[in-house]
Amino acid sequence: MRNQISKILAVVQSDSLGVWQRYKGHVLTAAAFVVAAMLAVAGASMSVRATENLLVNESREALNEAEIEWPDIQVDGLLVTMSGQAATEAERFRALGIVSGVVGAERVIDRLTVAPSIAIAAPRFSVEMMRNGLDVSLIGLVPESYDISGIVRQIEGIGPEVSVVNMVETAAHAVPFGWERSVEYAMKAMTLVPVSKISVSADQVEVFGLAESERQRDEFRQRLQRERPRGLIASIEISAPRPAITPFTLRFVIDEDGARFDACSADSQEARSAILQAARQAGAGGVLECTIGLGSPSPRWQVAAVAAVRALGDAGAGTVTFSDTDISFVVPNAVEIAEFDRIVGTLENAVPDVFSLQAVRLPPEEGDMEGQENAVEFMITRAPEGAVVMRGRLTDDRLRSALLSMARSEFGLSAVDMQANITPDTPEGWSVRTLLAIDVLSYLEHGSVRVRPSQIDIRGVTGDAGASDRISQILTDRLGAAARFNLNINYDERFDPVAMQPTPARCEAWIKEILTDEQLTFDPGSATLVADAVRVMDQIAEILRDCGRLEMEIAGHTDSQGGLETNMRLSQQRAEAVMAALLSRGIPISGFEAKGYGPEFPIADNSTASGREANRRIEFRLIGESAAAAREETGEDEPQEQPDEDDLEIEVTLGAEDTPRPQPRPERP
C-alpha cells in the first residue's frame, strides 16, 4: 500500500513539473499584469488621498479666514460633506457659501444644522382706551384667553347710546400678572372721565383726560387717586380748558380792611403775573388769585388792568371795576380833588382807546342822606342751618310774589320766611336789585345781602373758591361797571365738596376728631370693647368706608402699671380687637397692621392718674403708601420714628372717664 502511494506521488510530481515547464511563460506574464494592476490602484489611491487632503485644507483655510471654526468637513473623492451646528441660519449659509466657492457648489453635500432658537418671549400686552363722550375706541394687543368682549359689554353698559369700535388683536400667551387689576382700574377711569385716553399695561395705567372746569378736574384727580389699587403705578393727567368769562371782570378794592381783589380775570399767564404784581405794589397781601380765562375784550387787557390797579394804589382808597371795556374808578371824598384829577388824567392816558373810563369822586357824606338810605333797604339772610329770611321794602305785591317764588325754588319751600313790607316809593331799578340779591345769596353757604339805593353789601361764607369772582361778574353785568357794592366773603373748605373729598390725611383727621370727642374704652384688664364703644366704632367704620383702602397701623399702648409682659400682651390684644371690630363692619383691612407697644412710648407722666389715663390709648397711624400720600397732600416731611403730638395720628383713650372737650370739629360732607 505504501509503495502504491509513493508511485502515485511520483507520477503527480512528474506531471506537475511538466505542466510548469509547459505554462511557465504564461504564468509569469499574468503575474506581471497583476503586479502592474496593484501598483496602478495604489497610485490612484494615493492620488485621491492627496486630492482630498488638498480640498480639506483649502476649505478649512477659507473658513479660518472668515473666522468660522465650527463646521466639520469630510471629503470623499471630489465630494465635500459639511456637517455641524450653526448658531443662526445666516451663519449656516455663510459657511456653505465659502466652501462652495472653493470646491464648487455642485460637489458640496450640506448636512449643516441650525441651533434651535430661544422660545419667543411674550409681547408686552397693552390697550389704548379712547373715549370721546359716547364714542369709544379700543386699540392694542391682549392675551388670547382674556375676555375682551366682556370689556366691550362693560363699556356699552355705561349708557344706551355708547358705541365701541374694537380694534384689539390677540396673542396666544398667558395673561400677565396684574393685568385684570389694571383693566379694572382703567374701566373706572374711563367711566368717570367722559373725554379721556387711557393706556393700560399689566403694571401701569396712564390716564389723560379733559374736565369741563377746574373744580371737576380736581374732583376727577382725587377720585382716581383714591381708587388706585395698591402697587399699581398710575399716572393721572386731567386738564381743564380755560373758562369763558363773561363779562371779563376785574374789581380791586382798597378800604379800611386793606387792599384786595373781589374779582380778577386775566387772558394769559403773563397778564396774571403783571396784574398781581401791581396789586402787591398797591398794598395787597396774602394769597392773591386771578383767573386765566377766555373772553378778553381786548388783547391789551393787561395794560389797562395794571394801569388801573396802580392808579388806585396811588389814590390809597376806593374801587376800580372792569366789566369788559367799561372801567369804573371810584374814590372817596377824602382823596384831594387835585390828586384825583392827576390820577385820573394819568390813567386816561395809560389805558388803550378801546376802554371807556368813568371816574367818580364821592361827595361828602351827609347825615340826612345816610338816614334816607337806611330807611329804604332790602335784606335777605341765610342762616347756617338753612333758614332764609327776607325783610325790608318792596315796590308791590307782584315783586313780593316773584321774590318768594324765586327764593323757595332756590332754597326750599319751607326754608323761606317773607317779612318785607310794600312801599311804592322805592328808588328806580329797585326790582332788579332785590331779585339780584337772591341770585347772589345762592353762592353763599350762609350770609346776607343788603340792598340800598346806592350800594349793595354782601357778606358771608362760601364753599366756592371762585364765588367772589362770580358775584362780581353778576353785579357788574346786571348793574354796570359803575355799580357800587361791597364784598366780604370768606371761603371755608368745609363747605367745598371738592376740597373735602376723602383723602388719607383727611380721613385720619376725621377719625381723630371723633375719637377725641367720644371716647373708646375697654373692660378693665381685657381686650373687650365696652357697650358704649359700639357706636364709636360705627362712626369710625362709616368714615373708613368712604375713604376706601388705606394702609394704617393700629397701635396699642398701656401705662406702666403691671408687668411688662402682661402689658405688651394686653396692648397687642386690644389693637387686634379694634381691627376685628372694623372687619366685622365690612371695612377692608388688608392694609392694616395691629401692633402692641405696651408702656414703651408714654405721652404723659405715668406717676399721675391723669398721665396714666392718657397713656392707655390706641393710635391709628397712616403707613406705607397712604402715609406718603398724606405727606404729599399736606407738604410735611418724613415723620420721626416715634410719633409726637404734631404727627398725623389718631389717639383713642382707653378707660378714661373725663377728658377735656375739644372745639367743635368741621362737619364732613
**CATH code for position 49:** 3.30.1340.30
Calpha distance 62→18 (Å, rounded):
66
Q: What are the Cα distances from residue 95, in Å, to 76, 104, 125, 575?
A: 19, 13, 39, 74
User: Which residues pair with residue 163 across a beta bridge?
Assistant: 135
Burial class (CB in 10 A: 0-12, 13-18, 19+), 160: exposed
- Largest Cα–Cα separation, the chain: 192
Q: Domain range for residue 461?
A: 367-495
pLDDT at 83: 86
pLDDT at 661: 35
Q: What are the Cα distances from residue 81, in Å, to 84, 111, 445?
A: 10, 7, 96
152 within a domain of the structure (yes/no) = yes
> Which residues does 341 contact at the CB level (< 8 Å), separation at least 6?
none
- Which among 334, 358, 336 has a CA at the least distance from the CA of 347? 358
Q: Give yes or no: residues 191 and 168 share one domain.
A: yes
Calpha distance 139→164 (Å, rounded):
11
Residues of the chain with pLDDT under 70: 1-52, 77-78, 117-121, 365-375, 499, 634-669
Q: Give yes or no: residues 515 and 647 share one domain.
A: yes
- Which among 489, 488, 484 has a CA at the least distance from the CA of 455? 484
Residue 108: its H or E element:
strand 108-114
pLDDT at 652: 38
Strand ranges (DSSP E) for 599-669? 617-622, 649-653
Calpha distance 385→382 (Å, rounded):
8
User: Which residues pair with residue 389 across a beta bridge?
Assistant: 381, 417
Estimate the crossing angle of helix 430-441 against helix 397-411, to 10 degrees. Answer: 10
DSSP tag of 99: H
Burial class (CB in 10 A: 0-12, 13-18, 19+), 388: buried
Q: Give yes or no: residues 275 and 177 share one domain.
A: no
Q: Which residue in this structure is represented by grid cell 398725623?
A: 648
pLDDT at 477: 86
Give how many domains the chain has, as a whole number: 5
Boundary-marking domain end, from 239, 263, 287: 239
Q: Give yes or no: residues 513 and 638 share one domain.
A: yes
Residue 168: its H or E element:
strand 163-171
pLDDT at 319: 94
Calpha distance 220→226 (Å, rounded):
10
Grid coordinates given for 144: 388670547
Grid coordinates given for 295: 373772553
669 within a domain of the structure (yes/no) = no
Calpha distance 324→301 (Å, rounded):
9
Q: Give yes or no: residues 220 and 336 share one domain.
A: no
14 within a domain of the structure (yes/no) = no
Q: Give yes or no: residues 213 and 317 share one domain.
A: no
Calpha distance 578→547 (Å, rounded):
18
Grid coordinates given for 164: 365701541
DSSP tag of 294: B
User: Which residues pair with residue 258 across a beta bridge?
Assistant: 255
Instruction: Give the dihedral sign, CA 172/174/176/181.
Output: positive
Altogether, the residues listed in the chain come to a count of 669
Cβ atoms within 10 Å, residue 139:
14
pLDDT at 81: 84
Q: What is the CATH number of the domain that holds 303?
A: 3.40.1520
Give φ, ψ of 207 to 5 degrees. -115, 120
pLDDT at 403: 92
Q: Which amino acid is at 324?
A: D
Q: Give yes or no: residues 513 and 642 share one domain.
A: yes
Boundary-marking domain end, from 477, 495, 513: 495
622 within a domain of the structure (yes/no) = yes
What are the tens digits of pLDDT across the range 51-71?
667 777 777 888 888 888 888
Question: Do the strands 552-557 and 592-598 form a parallel or antiparallel pair, or are they unpaired?
Answer: parallel
Q: Give yes or no: residues 381 and 514 share one domain.
A: no
pLDDT at 104: 74
Q: Give yes or no: residues 291 and 384 share one domain.
A: no
Q: Give yes or no: residues 353 and 380 share one domain.
A: no
Q: Give yes or no: residues 643 and 509 share one domain.
A: yes
Give φ, ψ of 566 to 5 degrees. -65, -45
647 within a domain of the structure (yes/no) = yes
Question: Do the strands 485-491 and 552-557 form a parallel or antiparallel pair, or are they unpaired?
Answer: unpaired
Dihedral Cα 214, 218, 224, 228, nearest 10 deg: 140
pLDDT at 276: 95
Calpha distance 669→663 (Å, rounded):
19
pLDDT at 660: 35
538 within a domain of the structure (yes/no) = yes
182 within a domain of the structure (yes/no) = yes
- Which among 301, 238, 348 has a CA at the least distance from the CA of 290? 301
Q: Give yes or no: residues 440 and 558 share one domain.
A: no
Q: What is the CATH number of the domain that holds 446?
A: 3.40.1520.20
Boundary-marking domain end, from 60, 87, 114: 114
Concatenate the DSSP letters of all residues of 506-570 into one string: HHHHHHHHHHHHS---B-TTSSPBPTTHHHHHHHHHHHHHHH-S--EEEEEE--S-S-HHHHHHH
11 within a domain of the structure (yes/no) = no
pLDDT at 214: 79
Q: What are the Cα distances from residue 28, in Å, to 13, 33, 42, 51, 480?
A: 21, 9, 21, 35, 146
